[in-house]
């Protein structure tokens, strides 16, 4: 049934296929809208560019924010170039991220959808980052060790990972685990020995699987993303988003948690958390 597939709302408007196209082309975009609306002398001109995508549902809001309709559409993921709308969606409990278009996109797989997630403040809550900000790295390690068996609270994109997992299960049930056309990645600055165990135990407690978990212990994520070549990558820190975009990855910023602060002079979202 198509209704059980993740629904992605995309507020980008392009006349040619844009950075979201390879991702949406996997039929995840059941609420993928590529449209242009023009009001002129008593009429509205609407142009929808389908690019042979299966477009099941869309909404036209006359310039108003579509965020209020997301829950009614059972949206699993909302992507926008507008960080204000993304924050509104997150406040409504919708998985959302601000998308950044790389100048030159890296070639991605045509046979397997690859989705890469950061951990803290993306899949998980920002609990651990708060410990770091308040007490430093050593206390962070102590806290994670002491709470190793206590699952972290969920982050804003947990639901989207769940939706992907339901699709994967369909293939697993058919004995196609090794040939599943969807693959998920955890790409985190956590280290495997000191803080990675809690992340893995949290996923297990949720009944969720991640195909590959990559613990970088603070190392740059760019080289690993270059190897993975994900169709889309989510992180709460602009530093990692910008570096990923520079390497040709479609990178999305999740403006959630203590890592976020607003530069009031320039209005630019920045990260103040450790890399």
Q: Check residue 101 and give its pLDDT.
A: 81
Q: Which residues are catalytic?
A: 118
Do 58 and 140 reside in the same domain of the chain? no
Do 23 and 132 reside in the same domain of the chain? no
Do 84 and 159 reside in the same domain of the chain? no
3-state SS of 108-155?
A: CCCCCEEEEECCECCCECCHHHHHHHHHCHHHHHHHHHHCCCCCCCEC
| Confidence (pTM) | 0.79
Give me the domain span that covers residue 68: 17-94
Write the pLDDT tens digit of every residue in 149-160. Answer: 999 999 999 999
Q: Looking at the predicted structure, is the pLDDT value of residue 15 above 50?
A: no
Average pLDDT for 118-136: 89
Do 119 and 228 reside in the same domain of the chain? yes
Distance CA 226, CA 96 (A): 24
Q: Check residue 75 and give its pLDDT.
A: 87
For residue 173, is it within any domain? Answer: yes
| Last residue within a domain, chosen from 65, 94, 123 | 94
Do 149 and 200 reside in the same domain of the chain? yes
Q: Looking at the predicted structure, is the pLDDT value of residue 225 above 90?
A: yes
Do 162 and 43 reside in the same domain of the chain? no
Tokens 């009429």 belong to residue: 43
Q: Check residue 90 and give its pLDDT.
A: 95
Give which of 14, 265, 263, 257 is closest to 121, Cα–Cα.
257
For residue 205, is it within any domain? Answer: yes
Split into its structural domains, the chain has a count of 2
Do 53 and 153 reside in the same domain of the chain? no
| Last residue within a domain, chosen from 40, 60, 94 | 94
Whether the CB-CB separation of 54 and 30 falls below 8 Å is answered with yes
Write the pLDDT tens digit of every residue in 80-107. Answer: 888 999 999 999 999 999 998 888 888 8
How many angstroms from the chain centroid is the CA of residue 95? 8
Q: Which helix (H) or strand (E) holds 183?
A: strand 182-188
b/e map 176-190, b = 16+ CB within 10 Å? eeeebebbbbbbbbb
Write the pLDDT tens digit of every residue in 38-67. Answer: 333 333 333 444 445 556 667 777 777 888
For residue 160, is it within any domain? Answer: yes
CATH of the domain at 190: 3.40.50.1000
SS3 (DSSP) at 211: coil
Do 124 and 89 reside in the same domain of the chain? no
Percent of the chain residues topping a pLDDT of 70: 74
């Amino acid at each position: 049934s198509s209704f059980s597939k993740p629904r992605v709302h995309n507020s980008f408007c392009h006349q040619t296929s844009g950075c979201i196209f390879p991702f949406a082309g996997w039929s995840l975009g059941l609420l993928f809208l590529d449209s242009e609306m023009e009001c002129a002398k008593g009429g509205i001109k609407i142009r929808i560019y389908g690019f042979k995508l299966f477009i099941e549902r869309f909404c036209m809001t006359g310039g108003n924010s579509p965020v209020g309709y997301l829950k009614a559409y059972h949206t699993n993921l909302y992507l926008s170039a507008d960080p204000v709308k993304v924050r509104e969606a997150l406040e409504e409990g919708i998985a959302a991220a601000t998308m950044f278009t790389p100048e030159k996109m890296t070639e991605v797989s045509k046979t397997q959808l690859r989705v890469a997630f950061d951990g803290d403040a993306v899949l998980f809550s920002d609990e651990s980052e708060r410990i770091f900000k308040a007490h430093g790295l050593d206390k962070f390690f102590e806290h994670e060790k002491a709470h190793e068996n206590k699952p972290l609270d969920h982050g804003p994109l947990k639901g989207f990972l769940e939706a992907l997992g339901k699709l994967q299960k369909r293939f697993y049930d058919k004995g196609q685990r090794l040939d599943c056309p969807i693959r998920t990645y955890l790409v985190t600055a956590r280290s495997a020995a000191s803080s990675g165990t809690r992340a893995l135990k949290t996923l297990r407690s949720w009944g969720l699987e991640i195909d590959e978990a990559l613990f970088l212990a603070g190392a740059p994520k760019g080289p690993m993303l270059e190897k993975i070549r994900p169709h889309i990558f989510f992180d709460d820190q602009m530093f990692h988003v910008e570096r990923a975009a520079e390497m040709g990855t479609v990178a999305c910023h999740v403006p959630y948690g203590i890592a976020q602060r607003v530069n009031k002079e320039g209005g630019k979202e920045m990260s103040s958390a450790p890399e």
